[in-house]
Amino acid sequence: MHKFNHSSILFSILLFVFALTGCATKLPSGLPQTPANEAEAKEVWGRYLALFGEETHKPFNIESTFRYIKPDGESHRATLRIWGNGGYPYRMDALAGMGSTAAQMLDDTNSLMVYMPQENRLYVHTGPDKPVLGLSGLGVPMPFSLADLTSLLQGHYTNLFGDSYASAYTNQHGEFHFDLSSDKTPGYLALNKDGIPVSWISKAEKTWNISFQFDSPTKTGEAPQLDKMIVTHGKGYKVTVWFKGIKYPDQPYTTKQLELTVPNDAEKLPMGQIEKEES
C-alpha cells in the first residue's frame, strides 16, 4: 500500500498527457505483413473519416477517470475534469480521494501552468517547447498532449492521427493497419471493417501503444462513444482512462471561468522541478 502523494498524482498525469517525442521508423514486431486490398482499405479509411474526422469547435465539459501504474507496481487514480471552448486555452482539474483537488492545470498556446493546492505550489512552463516539459531526462516517450487527449475523448481522432495514410495491411482478425502519414504520431492505426479504431502502435521500439474500447453506437452511421483506452509502455508503464461523459454548455465559458486562480503566496517553480522531486 503506497502513501497517497499529490506530487505523484500530478507527475503521473503529466507523464501521461504530454509530448510525443521523435520516433524511429523500424517496423515493430507483431504487425501484419500482408498488404491490404487497396479498394477495401480506402473504404475502411473513408468510414473512419466520416465517423471520427469531424471537429466541433464549441464549449465542452468532459469527465473521465484516470489510473496510472508504474513499473514497480505503484498506482495512482484520479478523476479528470477538462473544459474549454473548443480550442486553447484548456482547463483541467484532477480530483483525488474524497474529492480533494490534487492539481489544477491551464494549458494555453505557449504556456502551461499547474497548481497544487495541497502544497500551494505553482509550476510554470512557457515557450514553443512547452510540450516537452523537461521530462526527456526520464527516457520515456510521451504519447500526446492535453489537447490531443481532449480530442480523443471528444471523438476527433484525425486531430491526433491525421487524415491520410501511406499504406495499409490486414491481419487474421479482419483488421486494417494503416501506416500513418502524420509526423505527429508515426505509427500504425488499426481499424475494424467499420472504420472504428482498435489500437495505435508506435513505430519506436519500447514506446507507448494504445488500445481503444467503444460502446455500441446508438444509431446506424453514428460514431460510437469511447468507453476506455489503455495506454502501455515497453518499460512497464500502464495508463487506463475511462470516459465518463461529456456535456456541451449552451454558452461559451468566460475568460474568468478558464483562468487558473492561484493565491499570491503560492511558491512558483519551473515545470522541470516536478521531475526532480519525483526522481
CB 138 within 8 A of CB 275: yes
Please tell me the number of Cα atoms within 13 Å of 96 on its side-chain side. Answer: 21
Peptide bond into 252 cis (omega under 30): no
CB neighbours (10 Å) of residue 119?
15
pLDDT at 132: 41
Contact 165, 178 (CB under 8 A): yes
CA angle 58, 128, 241 (to 5 degrees): 50
Task: Give the separation between CA 60 and CA 163, rounded to whole angstroms.
Answer: 23
Cα→Cα distances 208→78, 82, 204, 214, 235, Å:
21, 23, 8, 20, 9
Gap between the Cα atoms of 159 and 241, Å rounded: 19
Strands of 96-152 (E only): list them: 101-108, 111-116, 121-126
Give the model's pLDDT for residue 218.
Answer: 60
Q: How far is CA 123 from CA 42, 115, 126, 192, in A?
A: 45, 6, 10, 42
pLDDT in the model for residue 184: 75
The DSSP H or E segment spanning 197 is strand 197-202
DSSP character at residue 184: S
H or E element at residue 163: none
- Nine-digit cell string for 154: 471528444
Count of CB atoms within 10 A of residue 159's CB? Answer: 19
DSSP-H helix ranges across 86-236: 146-154, 158-161
Please give the pLDDT value at position 197.
95
Burial (Cβ within 10 Å: 0-12, 13-18, ≥19) of residue 82: buried
Phi, psi angles (nearest 5°) of residue 17: -95, 5
Angle of helix 146-154 versus helix 6-17 axis, rounded to 10: 70
pLDDT digits (tens), the chain, 279 positions: 444 455 566 656 665 554 333 333 344 456 777 899 999 999 999 999 999 987 778 999 999 998 888 888 888 888 989 999 998 999 999 888 777 888 888 888 888 888 889 899 998 888 766 544 333 333 334 556 778 888 889 999 998 899 999 999 999 889 999 999 877 788 899 999 999 999 998 887 667 789 999 987 666 667 888 999 998 887 788 888 899 999 999 999 999 999 999 999 999 988 766 555 554
C-alpha dist (Å) from residue 147 to 44, 161, 185, 192: 26, 13, 14, 25
What is the spatial distance between Cα 251 and Cα 191, in angstroms, rounded to a whole number?
A: 35
